Structure 1
Amino acid sequence: MNVIDIIGQIGRRSDGDCYLGVVGPVRVGKSTFIKRFMELVVLPNIHDEDLKKRTFDELPQSGQGKTITTGEPKFVPSKAIPLEIEEGYSVNVRLIDCVGYLVDDAKGYMEDGKMRLVKTPWFSESIPFDEAAKIGTEKVIKEHSTIGIMVTCDGSFGEINRDSFVPAEEKVVAELKSTGKPFVIVLNSSTVGAKESNDLREELEKKYEVPVLLVDVENLSEDKAMEILQRGIEEFPITSIALALPTWVNNLADDHYIKTSLNKTIEEKMQQAYKIKDVNDLLPSLQENEYVSSVSLTDVDLASGVVTITIDIKDELYDKIVKELVGCEINDRDQLIKVLTEFSEAKKQFDVLGGALKMCEATGYGFSTAGVTNYDIKKPEVFKSGNRYGIKVSADAPTYHIIKVSTTTKFEPILGSKEQAEYFLKSLEEAYEKNPNELLECELFGQKIKDIIGGGIAGKLTILPEPIKVKLQNIIKTISNKGKTNLIAFVF
C-alpha cells in the first residue's frame, strides 16, 4: 500500500474528497508541511503539465525567524486536483493553510500598535488576526476538511521556545475536538532522533489522546506522509462490526442465547471502541464471553469503517446445542440416522401445515392444502351446455383448516377455613407477581397447578362428541366448495 492508496481510501470514506485542513500555532511549519506534501504526493501524480505548473506556483512559501508569513487562509491549490487512484476512480485533493494561533515572541501580527487585520474567504471585511485564526480553524475543519492535521513544534528550530507554543496548541486541540472531525498532530522537530523529542511526543499523545507523529517537516518523506494519512483515517469512527462465526452458529435462530450473548457483548464494547484505532481493544473483551474460545481481527476496511472479527466458539458447545435442538443425545451413527429420519418425517408434515399454523396464530384461522401427489384426479368427461359441449376435469384435494379457540378451565378447591384460603391465596399471589408462569409451578394437594389446568383443558377437548366434529367438518366443506358466505349456527 502506498500514499495514493491511502488517499483513495479516504476518498471512498468521504464521497471522493481528500481535503486536509492544516492548523496550529504560528511559526511551527504549517506552510512548509503543505509545500512538502504537495511536492511529494500531489505534484508527481498530476499528468497535465500546465496544471502541474499552475499548482506549483500556488504553493505557500516558508519563512524564517519570528515573523509570521501566513496572513490569511489559503486553499492549496485554489481548485481541488483530481488524482486518479485507479482506472475510473479519482479523488479530489486539496490542502488548506490556516492562519495560525498567536504565540508569545512571534512578530508580524501588529500594525501601528493594533492587531493586524486580515482577509478571509468567509467575510467581506477584514477581521483581526487572532479572530481569523479561531474562526478559520473552526470553519476549515468543520466545513472544508476530511481530516485535520495540527502542526506544532518542540522548539528545536527557529527562535521561539517550546513553552511559548503550549497555550496556542491547547486552544487549537480544544477547537479541533469540538468539531468532532478526525485529526492527528504532527510534532515538527529538527531532532527526531533525540530522546527529549520522543518523550515529548509520548507526553502529547497521552495529554491530547490523539495520534502524535514526530516529523522533520523540512525533510518530510513519502513514507512519513503516508503514515500521517494512515493514522488520520484510523481516527474515523467504526461504522459497523461484522462477526465471522462458525457456520453452524450462523444457522441458529437470531434469538438463540449464544447469538444474543455475543451481540450484547459487542454492543457494550462498541461504546468503548468508537474509532477504528480502538478496534484491537475489543478483542480481549470478546474473549471474556463465556461461549468464546478465540477471537481474531480478520479485516479492517478503512474505506467503509467496517470491522470484521472472527470468533470461534468452544467445541463442547456443538454437542450441547445439538442435544438441545433434537431433545436427546446423539452418540453414534445409528442414533443420528434415527433422529434425522424422525425429523425428516416431521418436516414433511410441517411443510403441509406450517403455513396454516402461522396464519392461525396471526388471525385465529388458517388453512393449507396438501401437495399435488395427494390430489385425487377424476377421469375427464364430456358435458353438454345448451347446444355446446365442453370437457370437465375435476379433482378432490385434502385441505386442512385450523381454528384457534380459547378454551377456559377453572380449578376451585375447597381448602377449609377462611384463614387457610387466604394463606394459600397470599402465596399464590406472591408467585404470580414475580412471574405469572411461576404460579403454574406451585403445588396444591401434591399436584402442580400447570398439570391440573392442563388436565382440565384436555378434558374439555376430549368430550367433544364425534357427531359435532363431523358436522363442523361438513360446514367447512360446504362453505369452501359452494362458495357460501353466510352461516347461521344454533348451539344448545
Structure 2
Amino acid sequence: AVSEQLKLKVRLVDCVGYAVEGAQGFLDEEGPRMVRTPWLEDPIPFEEAAEFGTRKVIEEHSTIGIVVTTDGSITDLPRASYEDAENRVITELADLGKPFVIIVNSKNPSGLDAVTLAAELSARYDVPAMPMDCQNMEQPVIIDLLKEALYMFPIREIAIDLPRWVEELPNNHWLYARFSDAVLEVVADVNRLRDVEPAALQLGEYEFVERSILQSIEPGEGSAAIELTCSHDLFYQVLSELSGFPIEGDHNLVGLISELSFAKHEYDKVAEALRNVKDTGYGLVSPGTDDIVFEQPELIRQGNRFGVKLTATAPSYHLIRANISAEVTPFVGTEKQGEEFVRYLAEEFEKDPDQIWETDFLGKSMHDLVREGLQSKLTKMPENAQEKLQETLTKILNEGSGGLICIIL
C-alpha cells in the first residue's frame, strides 16, 4: 500500500539505458563491443543493444517508467554529458504516452544544484522530478517515488459520492445545482491521478461542503472516488424549505414526520377518489375495515322458521364535481370610456393572456373579483338542501334508485 487510498502490485524491470557521452565499456580491441539480444538473431553493438532493449521494455513490457538522470555528482562525468541522452529518453517516453517520473540522482539531493535541476526538469517536461540519493534511499522515499509515478496515470473516471438526501433533490434545486456546478468546475482541470487530491481539497473549500474525502484511487482503472458531506444545519434548512415547516433539529423532525405520516395515511384513503372526480366528475371512497360497525345479531321469525339477522353499517364518501362559473362586469362610465377600457384589455391580452387577470379595477385585480364571485356561489347551497341531498344518496345506495326525479324550486 502506497497510501490508505492507493494500493498496487509492482514488478520492477531494470534496463541498461541510453549511453552518455564519455561513458566506457562500449568498445573493445576490435572496435564496437558486440552483444546478443533476446529480440535479434545476430549480434549488434552494445550501445545500440542498450537503447534497443530499453525501448522494447518500456514499449511492450511496462506500464510506467522511471527515468534516472543526475546532476553530475555521482561520477566523474559532468552534468552536460547526460543532457543529450536524457532529452532523447524523456521525449520518447512522452511520445509513447505512458506515465513516468524523473529521478535526479545526487550525492547531495537536498543541495541547491539537485533541487534546482529537479525543478527545471519538472517545469520543462511537465512531470514530477525528484532529487534523491539512489545508493542510500530508504523505504519512505521509494514509496513517495512510486506514488508520484502512479499519480501520472490519466484519469478516466471520478465518482462523486453525494449525501443520499442531496441526490433525492430535483435537478433544479439550488443546492443540487450548486453541487453540480462545483464538481464540473473542479474536475475540468483534472487530467491525471495527481490532480485528484488537489481537486478533493478544492471541493472541500465550498461553503456548502462540510467535508471532502478522497476515498480511493485505482491507477489500473484510471478512476478515483471522492465523498462530499453536508452539515446537519444545511439538511434541516433544505427540509424546512421543502416542507414549509420550521425544522431546527431532530426533535422537530420526529414530530413533523408523525404529523405528516398521519396526514399521508388519511390522504391515501381518498387519493383514488380525488383522481376519479377530476377525471370523470365522480369519486367514491370505500369504507375500510376499521370503519365497519357490526350490530348485535337479532333473532327473526318467518312462520315456523327462525333465522338470525346480521346488520353492519359503514360510512362511504362520495365526491361530486360541480363546475361553477362567475362573471365580472365592471362599469367604467361613458360609452367611450368603456371602449377604451375594452381596447386596453385586448392589447394586454395579446401581450400576455395571463396578465389581464392582474388588471386593477377599483382597488382590486380582476383575479380577485372573479375569485370572490366563485366563492360566493360555493355557499349558496342551504343546509337543508345539503341534508336532503345526503338522504337521497343514502336511499339510492341502500334501496336502489329505480326512477329518480329531481325537482329544483
Which TM-score bucket, shorter chain as reference?
0.5 to 0.7
1:51-450 map, 5 Å:
107-108=47-48, 133=55, 145=63, 148-154=64-70, 156=72, 160-176=81-97, 183-191=99-107, 192-217=109-134, 221-234=138-151, 237=155, 239-243=158-162, 250=165, 254-255=169-170, 257-273=174-190, 275=193, 277-284=195-202, 287-289=205-207, 292=208, 295-302=210-217, 305-312=224-231, 322=240, 325-326=243-244, 347-354=261-268, 356-357=270-271, 364=279, 372-379=289-296, 396-398=313-315, 416=337, 420-431=341-352, 443-450=360-367
Q: Tell me if the contact between 1:184 and 1:210 (Cα under 8 Å) persists in the aligned partners.
A: yes
Task: Give the distance between the partners of 1:463 and 1:25, measured in 2 at CA.
Answer: 102
* One-letter amino acid matched to 2:103: L
Deviations 1:282-328 (A, max 9, x none): 54555444xx3x7433453335732223443768x957964884557
> CA separation in 1, counterparts of 2:68 and 2:323?
76
Which residue identity lines up with residue 350 of structure 1 in the other structure?
A: K
Q: Distance in 2 between matches of 1:319 and 1:427?
A: 40
- Tell me the amino acid that sits aligned with residue 305 of structure 1: A
For 2:231, what is the secondary structure of its paired residue?
strand
Q: Which amino acid aligns with 2:196?
A: D
Counterpart residue type for residue 27 of structure 1:
Y
Is the CA contact 1:201–1:212 (under 8 Å) kept in the aligned structure 2?
A: yes
Cα distance in 2 for residues equivalent to 1:107 and 1:471: 111
Letter in 2 for 1:376: V
Say whether the 8 Å CA contact 1:184–1:228 is kept in structure 2: no
The answer on whether the counterparts of 2:325 and 2:374 sit within 8 Å (CA) in structure 1 is: yes
Shift of residue 240 of structure 1? 1.9
CA distance 1:354–1:155, change in 2 (3 Å):
same
Measured in 1, the distance between the counterparts of 2:47 and 2:228 equals: 53
Letter in 2 for 1:352: E
Residue 398 of structure 1: how far off its partner (Å): 4.4
Partner residue in 2 for 1:42: none
How many Å separate the matches in 1 of 2:19 and 2:284? Answer: 79
SS in 1 for 2:142: helix
Amino acid at match of 1:194: G
Aligned pair in 2 of structure 1 residues 381, 263: CA closer, same or farther (>3 Å)? farther
Say whether the 8 Å CA contact 1:375–1:395 is kept in structure 2. yes
- 2:5 corresponds to 1:27: no
CA distance, structure 2, for counterparts of residue 70 and residue 393 of structure 1: 108
State the identity as a percent: 15
Quick one: distance in 2 between partners of 1:175 and 1:412? 83
Residues 1:359 and 1:277: Cα distance change in structure 2 (over 3 Å): farther
User: 2-side partners of 1:209 and 1:407: how far apart?
Assistant: 76
Q: Residue 348 of structure 1 aligns to which amino acid in structure 2?
A: F
Q: 1:471 to 1:284 in 2, by over 3 A?
A: farther
Unaligned ranges ≥5, structure 2 = 28-32, 40-45, 301-306, 401-405
Per-residue CA deviation, residues 334-382 of structure 1 (Å, 9 max, x unaligned), is xx89x959x8556424312146437856994877666654332355689
Partner AA of 1:153 in structure 2: T
Q: Within 1, Cα distance between the matches of 2:284 and 2:12?
A: 66
* SS of aligned partner of 2:47: coil
- Note the C-alpha offset of 1:185: 0.9
| Contact 1:370–1:399 (Cα < 8 Å) also in 2 | yes
Q: Which amino acid aligns with 2:18?
A: R
Return the alpha-carbon distance in structure 1 between the equivalents of residues 321 and 15 of structure 2. 72
C-alpha separation between the residues in 1 aligned to 2:116 and 2:198? Answer: 24
Shift, 1:176, TM fit: 1.4
Greater length-normalized contact order (CA 8 Å, ≥ 6 residues apart)? 1
* Higher deviation after alignment, 167-176 or 454-463: 454-463
Residues 22 and 150, structure 1, Cα contact 8 Å, conserved in 2 = no
Tell me the TM-score normalised to structure 1 length: 0.51
Match in the other structure for 1:126: none
- State the secondary structure of the residue aligned to 1:305: strand
| Structure 1: tracts of 5 or more residues without a match | 12-17, 30-62, 74-105, 111-115, 117-128, 178-182, 384-389, 483-489
SS in 2 for 1:266: helix
AA aligned to 1:297 is: S
Q: Which amino acid aligns with 2:159?
A: S
Moved more, 417-426 or 361-370: 361-370
3-state secondary structure, aligned to 1:170 = helix
* Structure 1 letter corresponding to 2:228: I
Q: Which has the larger radius of gyration?
A: 2
**Following the alignment from structure 1 to structure 2, what is the Cα–Cα distance between the partners of residues 171 and 254?**
50
